[in-house]
Amino acid sequence: MSEPIITELADTRRFPVGAECVPEKGVSFRVWAPEKKTVRLVIIFQDENIDPPHCPIKVELQNEGNSYFSIISQEACAGILYRYLLDDDPQPYPDPASRFQPQGPHGPSQVIDALQFEWTDAAWTGVKAQGQVIYEMHIGTFTHEGNWTAAAKELPELAALGITVLEIMPVADFPGRFGWGYDGVNLFAPTRLYGTPDEFRYFVNQAHALGLGVILDVVFNHLGPDGNYLGKFSSHYFSTRYQCDWGDALNFDGPDSGFVRDYVLANTAYWIKEFHLDGLRIDATQQIFDSSAENIIAAIVRVARDAGVPRKTFIIGENEPQDAKLFLPFECGGFGLDALWNDDFHHTAMVAMTGRADAYYSDHRGTAQEFVSALKRGFLYQGQWYSWQNQTRGALALDMPPAKFVNFIQNHDQLANSGSGKRIHLLTSPNRYRAMTALFLLAPQTPMLFQGQEFAATSPFFYFADHKDEIAQLVARGRADFLAQFRALATPEMQARLPDPGDPQTFTYSKLDLNDRNLHKDEYALHRDLLSLRRNDPVFQACQQNRRIDGAVLSPDAWVIRFFGENPGDDRLLLVNLSRDIHLVPAPEPLLAAPKDCVWDAMWFSDDPHYGGMGMPPWPTKGNWYVQGESAVVLHPVNQPEDTVSHE
């Protein structure tokens, strides 16, 4: 075989690191290895485990003099496998910016030609922050097959339901047969467990064809404990200045941090450009440490938006302290995110539905006042004292638009944190669940459902992670210790019943049974109709943007939210009662008053038999109201009947 032809790097690359196919020139390889004297590329044209293997080609990369090593090889092509040899180390390592790891993180990297996929979404304009309904999805458990192709077949159903944005749990490759994805170690390589990179692109392309946006959950606070070879290329990828809860923090402000920042920012742009993703969900931003003039989170947002042009880009953050700085605009000293997850809404909803206020739920009471405040202000904690953490929590966000807050009553963390993995509809009464679902889906904030929530999935959702034995034991112990903050889960009986994260059955039990859609038609109809009301009713639709709502407490467990229409008198009332029947006598609350020359009438109620309820009598046009226990009702104004008009 002839020797590979080497040419200069030139301006042929789209991203600063990794292997990229260059039309008519071959493959460009580039890697950051500041402490290395030599970096050699090992090109493998056949699976190296086949006997006899094809003789690999080894070629030395050129030192650019700026800590990068690079080469363009005409011998290489899409599909070949490769690794790097560093100095005198006999062990070859995968590319830190590998685009695919067909044999997992410990195997060789594969050259992928991202330009071969034929996109058909040129007319897609992206995702704006307002008016979205998010659906959190774990590809490995969303379908029985657990891959991109099977998930794509279900997208028409989600679009018809009223979902507008899919939030995909992390896909950066990780070792083992299953996992949540938060221990990813190959940030540029979609995990082989769900299919090929082009199958991921196919999924996104299909979603766009149906009007669905796709954002990706990314983890920039740490990497996983197994298969992480970044440290072999440079000791400066990680920082010892900060203590991250899950592993070494990435180095965003120490020696050589500029190169690490470039690596993460390239990864950000890569997902947006080469997979046509509509944005990101940034995991655990409170564990991303940076004292630079431009915080890396702000830089990620800036780069993501630039990469998406001319499409709109939607960026969400998770931030347990609820620091409003993250979604303030750049010009106001913020980081520019579109929205943050709202744990407060989840916590108060869980307390209201289950009566349990343990551990991190202990500063929530699930009362009517909390829900009124949550719908009017987003976060409940905006700087007050938070007893669970023995410190203040949150920052003022009183005037933030509702779309800045992502509400949920289920997500991957919270389901698993129950210990049993049970869905909330199994932990509360059906009536109370329907009433809370109505509040959740009609609130002006952005709602997020977790996969299967829309049809009351029977499958639990556990924490699962497939690690080698020594790590698996530590993970299982750590998980049990974390759940022990809940007093009931700290008992020996419950500790013994906690599912083993490394047991394949823990993963299998977490897979959705999509036949539940047909078996649970009542719950499915509930979500479909509420999402239709949210999307199509002009008052509910407008209040998602203009914050024209107010609320009042009717009893400790009942409240009213008034949604003010754009036209005088065209309002909506949402009455929620999570306790027993109440008779509103007297009714000294102005928000209950009907518009001039109108009375209130019911336009939707949670006790509708179509949703499995026991029905509701006609809404009275005069006299005081009875509000049924554990129910929600939406009222709209109608012309006052003649027999209720007073004649003077």
Q: What is the CATH number of the domain that holds 381?
A: 3.20.20.80
User: Are residues 490 and 383 part of one domain?
Assistant: yes
Nearest partner of 513 among 459, 461, 463, judged by Cα? 459
Contact 56, 43 (CB under 8 A): yes
Beta bridge partners of 280: 216, 315
Domain shared by 139 and 246, yes or no? yes
Helices 257-274 and 296-308: crossing angle in degrees, nearest 10, is 30
Supply 537's token pair: 């009713």
Place of tokens 């880009």: 313
Residue 328 has pLDDT above 90, yes or no: yes
Q: What is the pLDDT of residue 56?
A: 82
Q: How far apart (Å, rounded) are the C-alpha atoms in residues 27 and 24?
A: 9
Residue 371 lies in a domain: yes
Tokens of residue 481, six digits: 């210790």
Q: What is the mean pLDDT of residues 628-636?
A: 97
Clarify whether residues 172 and 300 are in a common domain: yes
Q: State yes or no: pLDDT of 641 exceeds 90.
A: no
| Alpha carbon distances (Å) from 271 to 199, 262, 277, 493 | 14, 14, 6, 45
CB-based contacts of 430: which residues, under 8 Å, 6+ apart?
Answer: 612
Residue 11 pLDDT exceeds 70: no
In a domain, 142, yes or no: yes
User: In the prediction, which pLDDT does 568 show?
Assistant: 81
Which CATH number goes with the domain that contains 12?
2.60.40.10
Q: What tokens were used for 643?
A: 């027999």
Q: Could you give the C-alpha distances from 272 to 187, 265, 350, 369, 535, in angstroms and in order? A: 14, 11, 35, 41, 27
The stretch 20-48 carries a mean pLDDT of 91
* Confidence at residue 342, expressed as pLDDT on a 0 to 100 scale: 98
Q: Integer distance in angstroms from the first to the last C-alpha of the chain?
A: 105
Give per-residue pLDDT as tens, 533-560. 999 999 999 999 887 999 999 999 999 9
- On the question of pLDDT at 466 being above 60, the answer is yes
Assess if residue 127 is contained within a domain.
no
pTM above 0.75, yes or no: yes
Residue 640 pLDDT level (bands cut at 50, 70, 90) = confident
Question: CB within 8 A of 341, min separation 6: which ones?
Answer: 316, 317, 318, 319, 406, 408, 411, 448
Asked if residue 490 is part of any domain, the answer here is yes
Q: Are residues 105 and 176 in the same domain?
A: no
Q: Point out the domain boundary residue: 493, 527, 561.
A: 527
Q: Are residues 310 and 389 in the same domain?
A: yes
If asked whether residues 564 and 518 sit together in one domain, one would say: no
Please state which of the ranges 43-47, 297-301, 374-378, 598-602 shows the lowest mean pLDDT: 43-47
Residue 535 domain-assigned? no
In a domain, 126, yes or no: no
Within this chain, do residues 54 and 176 fall inside the same structural domain, yes or no?
no
pLDDT band at 12 (very low <50, low <70, confident <90, very high): confident
Task: Please write the tens of the pLDDT for every residue from 122-171.
Answer: 999 999 999 999 999 999 999 999 999 999 999 999 999 999 999 999 99
Beta-strand pair 598-605/626-627 = unpaired
Taking the CB of residue 51, how many other CB atoms lie within 10 A of it? 5
Does residue 357 form part of some domain?
Answer: yes
- Annotated active-site residue 88? The verdict is no
Please check whether residues 560 and 495 belong to one and the same domain: no
Secondary structure letter of residue 337 according to DSSP? -
Sign of CA dihedral 369, 371, 375, 381: positive
In this structure, are 558 and 466 located in the same domain?
A: no
Answer yes or no: is pLDDT of 3 > 60: no
Q: What percent of the chain has pLDDT over 90?
A: 92
d(CA 540, CA 138): 30
Residue 646's pLDDT is 52
Is 325 in contact with 394 (CB distance < 8 Å)?
no
* DSSP secondary structure, 11-49, as one string: T--SSSSEEEEETTTEEEEEEE-TT-S-EEEEEESS-TT
**pLDDT tens track for 469-517:** 999 999 999 999 999 999 999 999 999 999 999 999 999 999 999 999 9
Query: Which CATH number covers residue 576?
Result: 2.60.40.1180
Distance CA 582, CA 136 (A): 36
- For residues 275 and 304, membership in a common domain is answered with yes
* Residue 283 covered by a domain: yes
261, 359: one domain: yes
User: Which residues, 6 or more positions from 305, have their beta carbon under 8 angstroms from its beta carbon?
Assistant: 313, 315, 336
Boundary (domain end) residue, out of 465, 492, 527: 527
Residues 367 and 406 in one domain: yes
Q: Please pick, among 95, 283, 344, 630, the residue that the annotation labels catalytic.
A: 283
The whole-number pLDDT of residue 7 equals 37
Q: Is the pLDDT of residue 312 over 80?
A: yes
Total of domains in the chain = 3
Question: Which residues pair with residue 42 across a beta bridge?
Answer: 58, 83
283 as an active site residue: the answer is yes
Tell me the residue range of the domain where 555 lies: 547-644
Q: How far apart are CA 15 and CA 270, in angstroms?
A: 7
What amino acid is encoded at 300 in this protein? Answer: I
Q: 340: which strand partners? A: 317, 405
Among residues 318, 344, 516, 630, the one annotated as catalytic is: 318
Q: Are 201 and 275 in contact (CB under 8 A)?
A: yes
**Does residue 170 have a cis bond before it (omega within 30 degrees)?**
no
Nearest partner of 398 among 420, 379, 417, 412, judged by Cα: 379
Could you tell me the pLDDT band of residue 200, with boundaries at 50, 70 and 90? very high
Q: How confident is the model at residue 366 (pLDDT cuts 50, 70, 90)?
A: very high
Is the pLDDT reported for residue 1 higher than 60? Answer: no
- From 397, 390, 279, select the one nearest 344 (Cα to Cα): 397
Determine whether 279 is exposed, middle or buried from the number of CB atoms within 10 Å of its CB (0-12, 13-18, 19+): buried
Domain final residue pick, 464, 492, 527:
527
Strand partners, 27: 21, 73
